[in-house]
Structure 1
């Protein structure tokens, strides 16, 4: 008993140290406090500190009793948990002093004064949360006071050095003539430089603003052109239809989609605020919450299955329409999201097109080609690309051949130089140096002259022959092409007529193709709707089959129950559910009678038992008092003996 009291006192002292962070009102002397109050106070504090008893101590009353009596299975795990998390629990206890919300009843909050005070209290709590977060961030930011003082001292030293340098410069300048005038000019120069920088910055800003304004103007002009084109090709009915579609879409966004998204955001924000307001959670808390979530999910699934198994004719009538309404709502949301994404993509592509067109205009190009012009431009580029590839291959072949010829030329030059050197050496030996060179020159000149004469003669002969041939060929061609030219004229007229007819047929074909395309789109929509209806009807058919099977099973059970109930065999009748429930009802009635008799006996013996318990408590107090008196008497006799022995010793001395 003494050991239990010591453990309880130690735990209470430790918790009192934690309570110092909750406020001075919680610090009490445990020796003057009743055990029940101590247990209540310690349980409240342990709840704030989020202590969970071990798995063996699931009973709260047993844990409370063990905490009061100082039971080892209760106190030892508690002390181990407290001593392991001292700093964390101090912080949690300090935060609980300000963040444990006082629950005010709803009837008191109807008063305006109480409601205002409660609102101020919540606002102050939120302000305390923000300030505590900032304080923790500042503590963990790494800026200590020593570093700040060191920086301040370094800055002061730099300031002193700068002041000394300025004084030295002033002393140097004072010796110069007209130093005041020069200082004034330097100050004006600095001001003008600063002004020049600010003006340059303003100029840059104005240039950027001008560029953006030009881009906006180009965008507006493009939009205006598109609007003009749309107005020229459209009718008032189509414009009104487009405006109605846009109004319907925007009204759907404003009335349904955006409020739902705002509500979802508010709910998520409220949940996050609640999560932030909660104190720090450990891994065990998270695992417990996840287990609870799983339990709730399983319970929800079971309830939904029970509801589906239960036959409700009122719901079965409207289930099909509800499903159709939910499908249509989902499709509507999906289409709205797709339309919004398409609009965003269109705006982004328009921005990119404007940027590309502005870049093209800056590079000096003309307007961006569109439609047929762009197709012609692409075809032209493709033809040029093929020509470019062919020319590139030809250039590669020519460069390769040129390299080979260059190499052969170098080799021939080397051989010629070697032969010339040998010939010059022979001429030097014979004493006729330069003979080969002069002979070659004479031969070359004579050869050139003879060639020129021959070429003149040949060219004259060729020219005369070619003139004769050309005249003959021209006459032949004229004679042969005369009927062909006549046929060509007729064919040209026929070609013009055919092109006109082709254009008319092309216009008819385009209109017919557009009508068929629109009809095809309408038919596709109808087919899609019919497929969806078929799928819906098929799901309804399956649902009705399932309900039919359930009803058949229930009907079979009812028949078996009726057969067992009507049967003359007692064993079969015992198997009936009615008989089982009647037996269970009788058993419960008998049990209720026994419990009522037991309750009556307990009520009759309650008074005498309470008196007996009080007598035993008084007897225990009396024995405790006698024990204390006996201990005091023993102490007094021991002290008297010591005093007597001390007196005897003095007499002997």
Structure 2
């Protein structure tokens, strides 16, 4: 409460209030004076409330204040009771009601000014429904709502412009630059129009150019739409791939998992989560709250001087010495306490180890989650690069072994190809040599046929031989195809018979296996149904436990807040009791100096000082009233004198300007005479 009063007095003594209060004078204000101070603060927030509360009725004052406090969204504190108690305290000017209001208003003055300004335009007037039946009233109300919405939009734009940091000079420079560019563009357009006017069918060409520009803009728009759709398609494909990968992993996990393993894993997770909820997190929360309370105490404490620091250091030294003495005394006790302390140390070590392991487990889980995210990203990148699925585990091993086999086959084939290419080169050379010899022999044969007179004989002989050879080849092929077909039929019949004989025992073995498979699938369906029901029961139990934990945490937080609130009330009551006791002690004390320190004596002295000050101010007011008429007359005479002197000054300047003009005219005439 004292900090609250200090803050209020400090703010009231600054601009724009300048009240010149101290804690005593402010605390000794009458209810009407306190209400006037509250009204002055409200007038600073909203100038409509700058009135003297002595000139209006108390109910009107309270109604006006409650209205502005409702607009500013002030919520009365819990210690002020309900709304009727708050209203009654505001009527009578109660300090426990007005001090929190002043503290709240002075804390958020700038924010509340903005809220009060917006409330003048945004607080909706409630029109009764029977009046809205009239068309004029309904139309006016609709226009009113539209104007309100426009005001909201304009206010947001204004705030954005204010926060954007653009100055008026920059805007003016931009406007001037844009105007210059506009002038240049208009000039260029005029020049181009003059040049185009001489061209035939320029209107037709302009229309075609306009259509071309529109089509290009449409093409750009369509290309942008195409790009956005392609991006959406790519993102959808990525999501689909991620979902398929997750589905595959979940199916693999479900195929490899058993109900016992899942139950065990769920029990471990429940144990870990219950340890976190019941032991680890409450300890951390308690430590955070303890540090927060210590920091709040440090913040609420006044500034410390060097003497306070030395005193605290001495207290710390004394406490440390006491702790050392207690430790030595404890070490001298019987060995049973030593055993208990040893067990306590072991328990503390185990608890610390447990906490460290829990933290390591949490970090490991987070690391696993991060690694899974990285793996998913890498898989997506690999799919984007080549579009194929990434192999893992046994599939990758099989792929490597298959690749090795293919590489050995590739090496063999490459070696065979090298040998065949070398042999092909030799054969090509042999063919060329033989062709050359054959051509040479043909030339010799043709010369000999010409000499003998039987030219063309070799060609006809070769043609006959070629035709006979073709006929023999066709006959051989026909015979071979018939033989091959008969052999193929025989082979197929023998292979079918062999397969039937080989598959007969396998089919006999397969029949009981099929029956067993049906039984196993039925058993699997039953077990799966049991597993699903068990998993649903465990999930419901887990949700119930989570709800219980949340409710217990809320109860704990409520109990802690109530505990702190009761402690604060207790401390404030103790301080009031202590102040009351000190006041009684000082008031009853026979010592006059001690009695002068009492608050009552201070208040009486302050009242006497204020009465003397009031008397002096009334005397000053009386003297000012008596001399007011003479002073106003003197002021009027002085203003008339100023006007007279200003008139004389203007006349003098006018005469001086006329004289200088005549001199110039005279000098000009002399110059003309000289010429």
TM-score (norm 2): 0.31
Of structures 1 and 2, the one scoring higher in RCO (CA 8 A, sep 6+) is 2
TM-score (norm 1): 0.32
